[in-house]
Each structure stands twice: as C-alpha cells, then as structure tokens.
C-alpha cells in the first residue's frame, strides 16, 4: 500500500515531496502559523527537519500529505499527517495550513479523509492528537472530527491537551 494519495471535494492530498520544501518553509516562517507550535526556525534548520520527515518511514500507510486545492492545484496549502505519537502506542493526526487557508473547513476536510484512511484501510483502533491548550481553532477542528479531550500530554517539556477517538 505504501502512502496513498487522496482526493476530496476540494482537496488533493499526496505524499510530501522534496518539491514542497520551499513552500513548506514559507508556511513555517509565518509567526501566526507558528504561534502555538514554537519559535520560527532558520530556513536551513527547517530544510534539514523537513527533509528528514520526507525520508522517514513512519509505517505502512502513515506519513505526511501535502494539501492542494483543486482550484489552485500547484499552490501548497499546507499538510496533514498520520504519524506515531511520540511516547505512546497511538498514531496521531495533525495538520498545518497557510494563514490564507484558515477558516474554510480545509483542515477538517483533510482530517476527515485521513481518519477514514486510518480506520477503514489501516484498521487502527484509535487516533490521537496533541494541541496547545490555547489553540482553540485546532481544538474546534478536532471536535468536528470526533476526537475528545482526554487530558494532558507532555512533549518536549511542554504540556498539551490530548485528544483521542476510537474507531
């Protein structure tokens, strides 16, 4: 199976590629996008980190997907992911979009697609997500996707909210 591509009503999701690096770095360099995620890294550090993500085998059917809107098929909107949640047996779902794509339901649409993949094709028993306690927009997306706040999660010296959904 590898890492498949998907098409939704408005989006195309395909495995992240090296050709996405410059646009990904631009998204990660926006302080508003990174508000709840940490400091903006210098471009070369980002390039090294993103390259490692592209090269990592996260497991069958898991990884990072680049998001493109059908109306602008060459413009990277952001990405979504299904990867192992560090320090846990769970697989996590996540998403990051450029600022001009916020508030349009695109993270929810991409997330719903990946949840279907996780539960239908991969037969995962549960999906988790960690989110900064002040990131209310992301918490709303997770609630729309049917994930529930189940407590806290410590990662990298930070305490985040942990969300989870059973299959």
pTM (predicted TM-score): 0.95
105 part of a folded domain: yes
State how many domains the chain has: 1
CATH number at residue 95: 3.40.630.30
For residue 155, the model assigns a pLDDT of 80
114-120 long-range Cβ contacts below 8 angstroms, 24+ apart:
114/6, 114/13, 114/65, 114/80, 114/81, 114/82, 115/145, 115/146, 115/165, 117/4, 117/6, 117/61, 117/82, 118/82, 118/91, 118/93, 119/167
Does a structural domain hold residue 122?
A: yes
**pLDDT tens digit at each of 167 positions of the chain:** 689 999 999 999 999 999 999 999 999 999 999 999 988 999 999 999 999 999 999 999 999 999 999 999 999 999 999 999 998 999 999 999 999 999 999 999 999 999 999 999 999 999 999 999 999 999 999 999 999 999 998 887 889 999 999 99
At residue 110, the pLDDT reads 99
- Which domain, by its residues, includes 24? 6-166
- Say if 95 falls within a structural domain: yes
63 domain-assigned: yes
Instruction: Report yes or no on 96 lying in a domain.
Output: yes
Q: Is residue 1 part of a domain?
A: no
Query: Which pLDDT belongs to residue 145?
Result: 99
In a domain, 41, yes or no: yes
């Amino acid at each position: 199976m590898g890492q498949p591509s998907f098409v939704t009503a408005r989006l195309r999701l395909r495995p992240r590629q090296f050709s996405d690096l410059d646009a990904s770095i631009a998204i990660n360099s926006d302080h508003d996008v990174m508000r709840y995620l940490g400091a903006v890294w210098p471009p070369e550090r980002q390039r090294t980190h993103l390259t490692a993500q592209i090269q990592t085998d996260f497991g069958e059917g898991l990884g990072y997907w680049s998001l493109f809107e059908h109306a602008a098929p060459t413009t990277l909107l952001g990405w979504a992911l299904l990867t192992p949640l560090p320090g846990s047996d769970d697989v996590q779902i996540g998403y990051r979009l450029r600022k001009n794509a916020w508030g349009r339901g695109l993270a929810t649409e991409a997330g719903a697609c990946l949840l279907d993949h996780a539960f239908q094709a991969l037969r995962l028993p549960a999906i988790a997500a960690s989110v900064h306690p002040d990131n209310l927009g992301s918490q709303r997306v997770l609630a729309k996707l049917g994930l529930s706040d189940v407590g806290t999660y410590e990662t990298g010296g930070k305490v985040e909210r942990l969300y989870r959904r059973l299959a």
